[in-house]
Amino acid sequence: MSSQNPVFIPGPSNIPERLRRAIDVPTIDHRSDSFAELFRPLFAGVRKVMKSSDAEVIFFPATGTAGWEAAITNTLSPGDRVLAARHGMFSQRWIALCRRHGLDVQTIEAPWGAGCPVDAMGEALTRDVGHRIKAVLVTHNETATGVRSDVAEVRHALDAARHPALLFVDGVSSIASMDFRMNEWGVDLAVTGSQKGFMLPAGLAILGVSQKAVAAMDTATCPRCYLDLRDMLMANAKGGYPYTPPVNLLYGLGTSLEMLDEEGLENVFARHQRIAEGVRRAVAAWGLELCARSPDLYSDTVSAIVVPDGFDGTKIVTHAAEKYGTAFGVGLGEVAGKVFRIGHLGSLTDVMALAGLACAEMAMADLGLPVRLGSGVAAAQEHFSRTGPKALSQAA
């Protein structure tokens, strides 16, 4: 696979040159004042991205899965009941992780391609008059199916039921790419990672923790050591870590936050929405459909594209990699072979997206799918030419 071509997987995302240079730094003493100077500003930067004024922010040398594990082990005890919907690979994995830790998971099944079933969640919360449910788990952006769930509506369901459960949100493939409102949505624990919207290599699990979730640590008895939030909070307050930190990634995160701030968060979200819409118009021009069941569910960071019956979508991904040196995402779990995925998040421009669409067209045409070369690219071009930042400023 060519290292010169951008990737079109749903993460890790493309690493811009500025960030590659930012992490290319010599070793420093992580117990020195120099480390504290680079470390302390990161907390406010992440709060701004998550839209929280008071969350505790924690950086583990790990990936999003460790963030899930830290969320539950620091706030819950074995036997506690959690409520979760299973409607994709990543919601399924979070459920499996909870069960391995001895939690009682009340699962609501939904079709892959649907969002979090808010009505069913609300009914379950209303029926739980004894408040046995201690936490509600929501996957904001289901990367396997290209589906965005409405976190605000889940919070409304909790409030309508007057239920005190904690609200945990997997924002790994949404935060820093799609609008995320931790305070407004009443999120108690948000999980993301360095390798998607923050445009860095994998290696940082980033958590936003509400004060309510901090208080829940007082009674939680799930075992933890490396992922102990209290250890991190105590060390962070002194400008350090309880163990060796990933210094180079933290340098990179500082630069990533600068880049997001320079572009402007609302502009970042608008760029992702514009590029995602261009991809969706290309899919329609190809005569194909998305796995997401309705437009209100469409993700702005990944599109899962359903292939015709009898065709294996994985062949498109394999062929694109072997012939054109370009990476797309395969289908996972229940949609394995039924879809292929185009990631459009992080460091991506209209022009880069057009290159990916052109490659996908070539791969599908090579494999005999009834896709006319140039059809999807033209549909995306028409959209980008009308809606790109320069076009909008000239129209004004």
What's the pLDDT tens digit per position in 338-374?
A: 999 999 999 999 999 999 999 999 999 999 999 999 9
Mean pLDDT of 134-138: 98
- Where do runs of H (alpha helix) occur along 80-210? 89-100, 118-127, 151-160
Identify which of 360, 389, 383 has the alpha carbon closest to the alpha carbon of residue 278: 383
pTM attached to this predicted model:
0.95
Which domains are seen in the chain, by residue range?
17-261 (3.40.640.10), 265-395 (3.90.1150.10)
Q: How far, in Å, are 18, 95, 195 from residue 15 at the CA level? A: 8, 31, 9
| Conformation bin of residue 325: beta by default, left when phi > 0, alpha when psi is -120 to 50 | left
What average pLDDT does the chain have?
A: 95
**pLDDT one-digit tens code per residue, 19-45:** 999 999 999 999 999 999 999 999 999
N-terminal to C-terminal alpha carbon distance within the chain: 42
